[in-house]
Structure 1
Amino acid sequence: MMSLTHATIAAAGASLILGTANPLALGLAILGSQLPDLDTTTSTIGQICYPISSWIETRFPHRSITHSLLATLVLTLTSLFIGSLLNQVWTLLALPLGHLLACFSDTFTKQGVQLFYPYPAWAVSVSNPRRRLKTGGAGELWVLGGAIVTLMVGIYFATGGGITQQVSQVMGLKEGIFQSYNRHATSHHVYAEIKGVWASDRSRADGRYFILGTEGSEFVVTDGKGIYKTGQQLIAEHLSTSVGEPAITQSVTLNFADEEATAKLEELVSRYPGTLMSLTGSLVVDMPEAITLIPQPRQYQTASLTGSTLSLTHHPIEQALLQLKDQYAVGMLTVKIVQPRPIVLAARQ
């Protein structure tokens, strides 16, 4: 019974403290919560790892070395080393965190633990022995129920970007909103839920916009009709992000060495059908006089022409194919590809 309680407390704590719902992290936290009981062959993990638990059991008192901060430190150093090799430090830290939470929870039991081993003192959190938890008793059942609820809350917050990000979303704080966007932008469609006005005439611009990317501390968004930048065309009174359908976002770099510009773009369109593509970069073209850029009211200008240099920022590939027709170019473009193409809702005019 106690092993189940430890596992639930560890998973709930890891979810809340690390802000994660990653199954690997939660699994490592659960594993870490079982490691203290390696000092007895009667525990679940002791039976699974019998040779190890038998060796420890004959040499150390129960709830001593394996229930100590010393053991947590060893697990932490090991997790940091392996995590750095695998580039998964944050995930692997769930292992020592689970161990620490299990040891701490055992301080509420009748026996307590030697938390500061090798110092032999017993750490207990409740001075009155009658008020300490009894394995399998009603008190432990209440703790288990509370841990399950906490785990559910932790996973809820983690899937929404953590408690900090949830609060930031509600309050419209940019730091948390950007963290949420960065967290999900490569794996899902991410939308900006905006309540605000158009900068040009202060009419309402409330709506749901797909986020194309960021520029400084602002978002570049689209409603399917145009492209806008918050803080410029769109003045947001309140902004939050929402995660939409699963999607794959990737970038492709195209280099042009005095060659026909549209050929590479058309090849990319045929290779990735049904996607949203935007271009960022600059090209030196041979016939700049043939390129006409008409500023659109209320819209962010994604293309500019200076001499023979065409500069693009989040520029739709459909427009670029028309503007670069019969042009030979030198330069480099980064193509952002979102697959599948998101469904965007038009802002209320």
Structure 2
Amino acid sequence: MLTPTHLVIGQTTFVAVSLAVSHAPSWPEACLAATAALLPDLDKRQSHIGRLFPWISEPLEYRFGHRTLTHSLLACVVLALLLWPLLPRGAWLAVVAGYASHAAADMLTPAGVEWFWPARWRCVLPGNERYRMRAMGWGELVFAVVLIVATVPMIGLAQSKPGTGGVITAAIGDMAAARARYDAEKGEHRWELRLAGRDNLTLEDVGGDYPIIGPWQSSGLLVATSSGPQTVCRGGGCDWYADSAVAVKGEAQITTTRELTASHTSPAALVAALEPLQPLGEVYLIGSLTAKGLKEQLPSVAVSGDTVSLTYAAPEMLETWGARPLRDVLLTVQVRHAPGVGVPNLALNDEVVDLIPAELRPWMLQNGKISRDR
């Protein structure tokens, strides 16, 4: 096939893959995919890319021949593995999809490619040679035009509604895949869990779409519901059991963190410190502190003796803690907000809380005498 056709096919393949895995493609990534679609022709001296790098193309063509090593499944797999730790996800998708599209397109020509190199089999599509495309023929031109027309709406859909994609993950509906995808891409978008499942205690159906708050243990997710946070996993150790689960990417969202530490403070002081953040977006508390008499509010608040662990706890929960003293406060405050919103720094001063109830204060010793003021 001609170079322009490979450019178009590389872009179209990348956009289609992005839509399938719910990645919002950018135009620089699409251009990268088009460029990667030319790389397999490094094994031909007279190709556009071969003329740019003759010291590579001449040895490749002399040693292996055209449409062999660089057009093979082996080359695609090696390229994908080498670039996986080096490139961002979008750029990696662009390079791999663009590169692989070249060999797939060349299978549509009469000569085909040695897809399973070093085996010498020539792979072609379709099997009947009359229906394959010849270089510079009308079939190739019509094919390129159709791809251009199809790419425009696809890239618009993938960019504006990233949650509409995920065709592959939606078909699988695996909880482990949903957790892995959330872990890999969290931080720049809102996320929802499209769930089909049931309550582990009541066995009621809990299917629906729920905002994801964060990860839960090693393989679950914490989601927001009308009755409070619920844990979801594929097992009996969570609130809900997931028969099918898909992590769906939503609108853009930035996550900013701030730290709060204090030797002694109070719930009221914590609420006051967090107050400037409330209008900005969703606020969650992660960390630990020491307090007496607090009750567990799982899954957000876990209590072991006097040690209290917070896992994506909402600031509103602090208002139920009364005036008890809080000690050894080590909290990470997570704010999820729209792009472009500034998040102020926080200050939490040490505050020693009076341990004496107000009703007993009039009877306490003052200057060695019992005060009976009322």
Looking at structure 2, the residues matched to 71 and 203 of structure 1 have their Cα atoms a distance apart, in angstroms, of: 53
Distance in 1 separating the partners of 2:285 and 2:9: 48
Residue in 2 that maps onto 1:266: 272
After TM superposition, the score normalised by the length of structure 1 is: 0.65
Distance 1:15 1:66, change over 3 A: farther
Instruction: Tell me the residue number matched to 2:308.
Output: 310
| CA displacement 1:25-76 (0-9 Å, x = unmatched) | 43222012245678789x8x68xx99x4899999999xx9786635999999
Task: String of CA shifts for 1:254-286, please: whole Å, max 9, x gaps.
Answer: 33334556545533431452422222322123x
Deviations 1:161-218 (A, max 9, x none): 655312123xxx2123224433554222222344555455445545443221222333
Structure 2 CA distance for partners of 1:238 and 1:81, relative to 1, 3 Å: closer
Q: Distance in 2 between matches of 1:307 and 1:128?
A: 75
**Change beyond 3 A, Cα 1:89–1:269:** same
Inter-CA distance 258–90: structure 2 relative to 1 (3 Å threshold) = same
Whether 1:278 and 2:284 are equivalent positions in the alignment is yes
Aligned to 1:219: 221
Q: Any conservation in 2 of the 1:221–1:229 contact (CA below 8 Å)? A: yes
| Distance in 1 between residues matched to 2:240 and 2:115, nearest whole Å | 56
Of stretches 66-75 and 93-102 in structure 1, the one that deviates more from structure 2 is 66-75
| Distance in 1 (alpha carbons) for counterparts of 2:172 and 2:24 | 19
Name the counterpart of 2:34.
30
The 3-state SS of whatever aligns with 2:187 is coil
CA-based RMSD of the aligned residues comes to: 5.0
AA aligned opposite 1:176? A
2:9 aligned with 1:9: yes
Q: Alpha-carbon deviations, 1:136-185, whole Å to 9, x = none?
A: 4332245436655886898678945655312123xxx2123224433554
1:222-243 per-residue CA deviation (whole Å, 9 max, x = no partner) reads 2244222235444555544444
Question: What does residue 367 of structure 2 align with?
Answer: none
Quickly say closer, same or farther: Cα 1:114–1:267, change in 2 above 3 A.
same
Residue 69 of structure 1 corresponds to 69
- Answer with 1 or 2: which has the greater Rg: 2
Q: Deviations over 1:91-122 (max 9, x none)?
A: 25744753453355346446778999xxxx99
Q: Bigger relative contact order, structure 1 or 2, given CA contacts below 8 A and separation 6+?
A: 1
Structure 1: how far apart are the matches of 2:128 and 2:242? 57
Gaps of 5+ in 2: 339-374
TM-score (norm 2): 0.62
Instruction: Name the CA shift for 1:294/1:251 in 2 (closer, same or farther; >3 Å).
Output: same
Amino acid at match of 1:31: T
Give the Cα separation in 1 of the matches to 2:142 and 2:123.
19
Deviations 1:276-321 (CA, angstroms, capped at 9, x unpaired): 2222322123xx24x4x376xxxx4422433322222222111125
Distance 2:251 2:310 in 1: 28
Distance in 2 separating the partners of 1:115 and 1:194: 39
